[in-house]
Amino acid sequence: MKRLIELLGLLLILGQFALAQRIGHHAQFPLRCDECHYCKKPTYNEPCLKICPDFIREGITVHHSVEDAPTLLIIDTLQSKYAPSVFTHRLHAQMGEMLGGCESCHHHNPPGKVRPCIECHKPKRDLNDLSRPSLKGAYHQLCINCHRSWDSDWSKTSDCYFCHPKAGESLSQTPEQLAELAKKRHPAPKTPELFVLKSDYEEAPLVTFRHKEHVFTFGLQCKSCHQDNACADCHRSPTKEKSVSLEHDNCLPCHQTAIDENCEHCHDNKEKPAFDHAKTGWPLKPFHKKLTCQTCHKDQVEFQPLNTDCNTCHKTNWQPGTFNHSMTGVKLDENHAEIDCETCHLNRKFNKKPDCSECHESKSFPKDVPGKLINR
């Protein structure tokens, strides 16, 4: 039995090994061995593979877009017990993209092709192996959390026959109705501006969360915070109030230090103002205001101070003919447009006032402008 389990685990990761053969052995990837192997020193003879390793690996995982997804799936594998069920796959894929991506349902999927559920979950229930649910159990586990909440929050039914008619019956939808179902899309969610939330922290109970800023300025995706949410967390009956959790879990990845050491970073007795980059000692000029934080801070989770020397980011892409100088508010005339940047910006210190002395003894900026001042 042990060897059988290990062989099943080995089959699951063949997709990863096939990729590794093309670009190198999997041991060369930045992987954690304990995510696939349950022993500390796996060997060829004793690989001790987990039944369902986690395959979500940046760099080797193949990501699929929502538009790659089939529009409809007719689930008829269990038609001996239930009539075929129509699954609006692309519609659910759009919702899944907000809550965790394809892996929300297609968990433990090796890199490459998305595998159907039946490859791991068999129609017949195996009472001797409870580590893996049957196909019926797998389907229901994926659907039940959202659909069960329909009864209490949306006043809709979620009984068995909502998804599939009784055994022996055919599809209840006409071809025209199926065509309409295939066109259904989830509307783009509206991004709230901010929430002012009340916590149980008596000294400073109010927490200002600027939702739109976190999305468009800080570059967070819906699933960054909403991975564990159910649809009903947003779609509630008009008679029910929407509650917002004030737990720190969603905030920890970016605000670990503040949460551990400085509660007032988020908590206050009044609404906090929006983040102003000038507080860091580096006010953003018009061009930099258009950039997301990740443009400069890259992969930083808790943003750290950067070297403010322009050359840190602009080492090679500020050269004559490659930079639109009008962005600075000065459109260079033809005498200055072709000269090297360092001629005016000594030692490439672009954040300092330009120096005219290399060519002109009696001219200086901003009294003398090497072109035309324009509005930015």
83-112 residue pLDDT tens: 888 889 999 888 888 887 787 788 777 667
Please give the torsion angle defined by the CA atoms of residues 216, 221, 224 and 225, in that order, rounded to the nearest 10 degrees: 70
Helix (H) or strand (E) holding 206: strand 206-209
What is the reported pLDDT for 320? 67
Domain C-terminal end among 258, 276, 305: 305
| Higher local confidence (pLDDT), 188 or 368 | 368
Domain with 25 in it: 1-61
DSSP 8-state secondary structure symbol assigned to residue 151: I
Separation between Cα atoms, residue 222 and residue 213, nearest integer Å: 13
- Tell me, yes or no, whether 70 and 176 share the same domain: yes
- Do 277 and 301 share a structural domain? yes
Q: What is the model's pLDDT at position 269?
A: 93
Q: Do 174 and 228 fall into the same domain? A: no
Model confidence pTM above 0.75: no
Does residue 179 sit in the same domain as residue 215?
Answer: no
Judgement on whether residues 315 and 346 belong to the same structural domain of the protein:
yes
291 contacts 216 by C-beta, under 8 angstroms: no
Alpha-carbon torsion (217, 219, 221, 225), positive or negative? negative
Contacts of 246 (CB under 8 A, 6+ apart): 197, 199, 200, 207
**The domain that contains 111 carries what CATH number?**
3.90.10.10
- Check pLDDT > 60 for residue 344: yes
Residue 57 CB partners (closer than 8 Å, separation 6+): 29, 31, 111
Predicted confidence band of residue 271 (pLDDT cuts 50, 70, 90): very high
Give the residue among 97, 103, 94 at the shortest CA–CA distance from 142.
Answer: 103
Above 70 in pLDDT, residue 331?
yes
DSSP H helical ranges for the chain: 2-12, 14-23, 89-99, 135-149, 160-163, 175-183, 211-216, 222-226, 252-261, 286-289, 293-297, 341-344
Give ∠ CA 196-202-206 in degrees, rounded to 5: 10
Q: Is the pLDDT of residue 22 over 50?
A: no
Q: Are residues 322 and 351 in the same domain?
A: yes
| Tokens (6 digits) for 279 | 């507080």
Give the β-pairing of 330-332 and 267-268.
unpaired
Residue 187: burial class (beta carbons within 10 Å; 0-12, 13-18, 19+): exposed
Percent of the chain with pLDDT over 70: 79
Using the Cα atoms of residue 305, residue 311, residue 317 and residue 322 in order, give the sign of their dihedral.
positive
- Confidence check: pLDDT of 268 > 90: yes
Q: Are residues 318 and 338 in the same domain?
A: yes
Same domain, residue pair 228 and 131: no
Q: Where does a domain end: 44, 61, 78?
A: 61
Asked if residue 53 and residue 95 are part of one domain, the reply reads: no
* Euclidean distance between CA atoms 373 and 332, whole angstroms: 9
Are residues 52 and 104 both part of a single domain?
A: no
> pLDDT for 41-69, tens place per residue?
888 788 887 766 555 555 455 667 888 88
Helical axes 2-12 vs 14-23, angle rounded to 10°: 50
Same domain, 85 and 175: yes
User: Is the domain of 369 the same as that of 328?
Assistant: yes
Q: What domain count does the chain have?
A: 4
